[in-house]
Chains A and B, each alone.
Chain A
Amino acid sequence: MATLFAKGIRLDLPPRFEGRIYQRPSVAGATSYPVVHAATFPLSSDFADFGGGATVGMQATDIFTVLFEYGPESVGRELFARSGPPTALGPNDFYPYLLRRGVGGQSGTQWFFTESGRPFTFYAVLGSHALRATLAPEVNTLLKQLTVLPASAASLSS
């Protein structure tokens, strides 16, 4: 099992998954925050944060996930009221119309939450809506392996 650890985020990758933790350079004074990609197919640094360039070529059994952190100003807002990521996603949590880039046959889900005082959104794409009952447990397994350190500790692990 490979492990990703950077920016105060640790992810023990289940079988089939590979991943990347990165943070884009700040542009025009805007502050960027860490992004985690995990997928069951080869990842590229050219992929956009929410899977642009990645999801088009997915096979039916593929999974693509994004953990995207927001700035501290989002903490406490209603959108991020949920505590911790979902870890019991079921087939009914995935919808074809929830995709950021609509690719026929695929299915997606998105959740906003706060973990260790840090606001995130989690977005996942399944290669096949028809296979969501099989693929959703793999997403749950992935999320159960996620550990987020408080922002104060995150700076030490960068």
Chain B
Amino acid sequence: MLALVIVLLVVVALVCVVVTGLLRSHADILRSLHQLGVGVGDPSVAPLPLGPQPVATPRFSAPGLPGERSSSTAFDIEGVTVGGDAVAISVQAAPLTLFAFLSSGCSSCAAIWSALGDEEQLRLLPQGARVVAVTKGPEFESPSAVSARAPRGLTVVMSTGAWGDYEVPGSPFFALVDGAAGRRVGEGVANQFSQIADLVRRAAVDAGPPGGARPGSPGRAGALGLDGAEREAANDEELRSAGITPGHPSLYPRSLDDIFASTAVLGAHPEAGYGPLAASADDA
């Protein structure tokens, strides 16, 4: 009998120890929650009123969403030449500057590299338009490989930073900058130089004289003879010729990936009438 009493006492003592430990642990948790701003039942403050209570803002939140892609900001480019010289290109140095973001190993770029050395092709560009080929920097591209691709006389800048500034999704990619206005007036992907020349020509006409009429000004599209229904019809025709019909998935992008992974990309300002440039970005 005595033994049974002793065993019971021991069991009761053990249960007390366990309960005490649990209570202490619970108090620690409550204290920690309180320190995080979401504590309840703090005896040192007046009891909270009944009903809905304000919810404390979590101290940590998920990473912010990336900002919207800027398709009109223009940046000067600094980098090195294939020979290792330091070089900086000013977008204000020419009325129009066409930056061609290319790679040495990109299969779609081969035709563009070749066209940039073809006087006949370059004549498709408006007078005064300057072409600058931009590859990633020597940390990603072999200068000798780029040199082997680049036609003589073509300005080539190796600059990884420029690819970041212009948020280049892959190569080949093109950005057209109005030097006087200091802004990007067109961008897109293409695998034929004639498509690029068309982009440049349209952008040049839309922009009017460098630094002159801005989008929305009277007569901006008039130079092309396009306005109102005519302009809309021309845009529709170009979309159709590129295989983009009503309901085409490319017209309803749900993310940036949808836009830049698409095989048909419009210029930065579709409302300005830039034609669709059928191409593939095969070198991100």
Contacts and interface: CB of A to CB of B under 8 A. Distances in A.
Bound together:
yes
A44 B76 CA distance: 16
Contacts of B78: 2-4
A21 interface: yes
A5 B94 contact: no
Interface stretch (A34-42, A80-88, A96-104): A34-42
A45 to B, nearest CB: 7
Given A4-B78, A42-B155, A20 B94 contact: no
A22 B83 contact: yes
A20 B87 contact: yes
Counting chain B residues whose Cβ lies within 8 A of the other chain, the interface size class is 10 to 19
Nearest to B89: A18
B228 interface: no
A6 interface: yes
B138 to A, nearest CB: 13
A77 interface: no
Nearest to A12: B88
Nearest to B91: A18
Contact of A2 (B88, B94, B153): B88
B112 interface: no
Interface residues of A, number: 25
A19 B81 CA distance: 12
Contact of A22 (B76, B85, B92): B85
Interface in A17-61: 17-23, 39-46
Most interface-central of B76, B78, B83, B86 (chain A CB within 10 A): B86
B85 A17 contact: no
Contacts of B155: 42, 44-45
B77 interface: yes
B90 interface: yes
Contacts of B202: none
A90 to B, nearest CB: 25
A13 B88 contact: yes
A13 B91 CA distance: 12
Interface in B58-114: 76-78, 81, 83, 85-90, 92-94
B55 to A, nearest CB: 46
Nearest to A41: B93
A13 B86 contact: no
B130 interface: yes
A17 B86 contact: no
Given A40-B93, A42-B94, A18 B85 contact: no
Given A42-B155, A44-B155, A46-B153, A2 B86 contact: no
Given A5-B86, A18-B76, A18-B87, 12 more contacts: A1-B76, A4-B86, A16-B90, A18-B90, A20-B85, A22-B83, A22-B85, A39-B93, A40-B90, A42-B155, A44-B153, A46-B153
5 contacts: A2-B77, A2-B78, A17-B93, A18-B88, A45-B85
Interface of B: 76-78, 81, 83, 85-90, 92-94, 130, 153, 155
Q: Give 9 closest A-B pairs by Cβ, nearest first.
A: A6-B86, A18-B90, A2-B88, A22-B85, A2-B76, A21-B86, A2-B78, A20-B87, A4-B86
